[in-house]
Amino acid sequence: MNQNVENSLFIRAAQSKQTERPPVWMMRQAGRFMPEYWEIKNKYSFLEMCKTPELAADVTMLPVDLLDIDAAILFSDILVTAEAMGGDLSFEQGVGPRFSNPVRSKADADALRTDVVDKLQYVADAVKETQSRLNGRIPLIGFAGAPFTVLSYLVEGGGTKDFKKTKRLMHNNPELAHLILSKITKVTIDYLNMQIEAGVNALQIFDSWAQALSWDDYEEFSHRYIKEIIAGLNRQNVPIISFGKGSSVFAPLMAEAKPDVISVDWNANLRTLKDSLPAGIAVQGNLDPYIFYADKEVIKKRIYKLFDSMRGVDGYIFNLGHGIMPDFSFDKVKYAVDAIKEYRY
C-alpha cells in the first residue's frame, strides 16, 4: 500500500489505531444530491456509468474533489454481480433496480452462472483508473453486496418493503435459498479478491436488508455467508468493513465473522456498542442521515456529541447510519465534512 494511504486517518482507524480526529466518508457520497452528478447522469445511463471505467472514476472523484472526504468509494452497484450471474438488470428513474427474470425456481437457480469474474473486469479497470487519479491522496474503498441482500433483489425482481417472495422461498424451500446464496457467495469472493488484486485499499460488504431478518434467520441466511466471504478473501493489508442495516442488533454475530470494522446504524449508542465488541474491531457510523433535514448548527452539534462520546476509542470512522438521500442539501453535507475536519478529540 502507498505510504500516504497506509498512514491515512481512514486506514489507521480501520486498523484500530489512534487518530487525532475521526476520518469521514459517507455512503452514497457520489450521487444525486450533487449537481455535478446530474451533469454526467443526464448523458449516460447508470449502468453505462458503472461499466465505463473513465466515467466510474469521474463520478468516484466528485466527492473527493468537491467534499474533500477522507476516503473514496468506487462508483458501482451491489447488483453488478447478480447481473453477471445472468440477471437482466435495469435501473429505472424513480423505480430503482429491476430484474426482468427473477430467480424463483430450481431451474432459475441452476441457470445462475458462477464463473463470472471475467465479466466484471470493468470494475477492476475502474479501480485502476481511479487509483491512478487518486495518486495516493486518500484510500479507495471497493465493495460488494452481502448474499442475503443480493438474493432479495434477485428473488423479488427489485426492491421490496415486505420481502414476501424472499421469505416464502427461505421458509418453504430453504435448500433452494441456500443454493442461490452459495452461488452468490462464490461469485462475491472471486469479485472481492479481484478488487483487492486491482488495488482497492479497503472493502465494504453491504447487507442493507439484514434488518428484515430474525436473529435465527440472520444467522442461517446471512451471517454464515458473510463469514465465508471474509474467510475467503486474500486480505493482505486490506481492512474489511461489514455494514448492515440491523447491525446494532446483529453486531455480536457480525463480529464473529471477523471483519476489521463493523458499520453501525443509528439506533445504537455507538460507544456502548463499541465497548461490547471484542478488542480490535473498529466501528463506523452512525449519524442518523435524516439529521440533514435539520439546520446546520443542529447537524454540527449532533456530530460533535457523537465524537465526544467516542473519545479514547482507537478505531472509529465517521459515517451515516445509511446513505445520503438525493434531496439532501450539498451545502449542508459540505458544512458537515468541514466541521468534522475541524474537530479534535
User: Using CB under 6 A, which residues numbered 84 to 123 contact ligand CP3?
Assistant: 91, 96-97
Report in angstroms how near the CB of residue 332 gets to ligand CP3 at its nearest. 17
79: contact with ligand CP3 by CB under 6 A: yes
How far apart CA 109 and CA 101 sit, in angstroms, is 11
3-class SS of residue 338: helix
CB 169 within 8 A of CB 155: yes
Residue 83: CB minimum distance to ligand CP3, A: 12
Q: If you ran DSSP here, which 8-state letter would residue 270 be given?
A: H
Pick the closer one to ligand CP3 by CB: 213 or 313. 213
Min dist. Cβ of residue 116 to ligand CP3 (A): 18
Nearest one of 307, 306, 319 to 69, comparing CA atoms: 319
Tell me which residue of 317, 135, 132, 307 sits closest to 239, measured CA to CA: 317
CB of 37 to ligand CP3, least distance (A): 7
CA distance 287 to 285: 6
Residue of 21, 32, 119, 341 that binds ligand CP3 (CB under 6 A): 32
Taking CB under 6 A as the criterion, the residue among 5, 14, 24, 30 binding ligand CP3 is 30
Quote the CA–CA distance of 244 and 263 in Å, as a whole number: 7
Binding mask 151-190 for ligand CP3 (x = CB under 6 A): --------x-------------------------------
Task: Give Cα 106 to chain centroid, integer Å.
Answer: 30
| Amino acid (one-letter) located at 321 | G
Terminal Cα distance for the chain, rounded: 27
Sign of CA dihedral 325, 328, 334, 338: negative
Stretch that binds ligand CP3, among 29-37, 220-228, 282-290, 313-321 (CB under 6 A): 29-37
Phi, psi of 118 (to 5 degrees): -60, -35
Q: Is 30 annotated as a binding residue?
A: yes
- Calpha distance 72→130 (Å, rounded): 9
Q: Which of 8, 16, 29, 247 binds ligand CP3 (CB under 6 A)?
A: 29
Q: How far is Cα 72 from Cα 24, in angstroms, rounded to an integer?
A: 10
State which of residues 12, 41, 167, 186 lies at the interface with ligand CP3 (CB under 6 A): 41
Least Å from the CB of residue 143 to ligand CP3 = 5
Residues in the chain: 345
- CB of residue 72 vs ligand CP3: minimum separation in angstroms? 9
Q: Which of residues 186-225 bind ligand CP3 (CB under 6 A)?
A: 206, 208
Annotated binding-site residue? 32: yes
- In the bound state with ligand CP3, the residue whose beta carbon lies nearer, of 18 and 329, is 329
146 within 8 A of 244, measured Cβ to Cβ: yes
Among 78, 176, 210, 339, binds ligand CP3 (CB under 6 A): 78
Q: Hey, how many other C-beta atoms are within 10 angstroms of the C-beta on 117?
A: 18
Size, binding site for ligand CP3 by CB under 6 A: 22
Any known ligand binding at 152? no
Q: Which is nearer to ligand CP3, 22 or 63 (CB)?
A: 63
Q: Tell me 311's DSSP state.
A: T
- Dihedral sign computed on CA atoms, order 78, 80, 83, 84: negative
Identify which range of 16-24, 74-82, 111-119, 175-183 contacts ligand CP3 by CB under 6 A.
Answer: 74-82
Contact in structure between 225 and 185 (CB atoms under 8 Å): yes
- Residues placed in the known binding site: 28-32, 77, 153, 208, 322
Q: Which residues contact ligand CP3 (rule: CB under 6 A)?
A: 27-32, 41, 46, 73, 75-79, 91, 96-97, 143, 159, 206, 208, 323
- Residues placed in the known binding site for substrate: 28-32, 77, 153, 208, 322
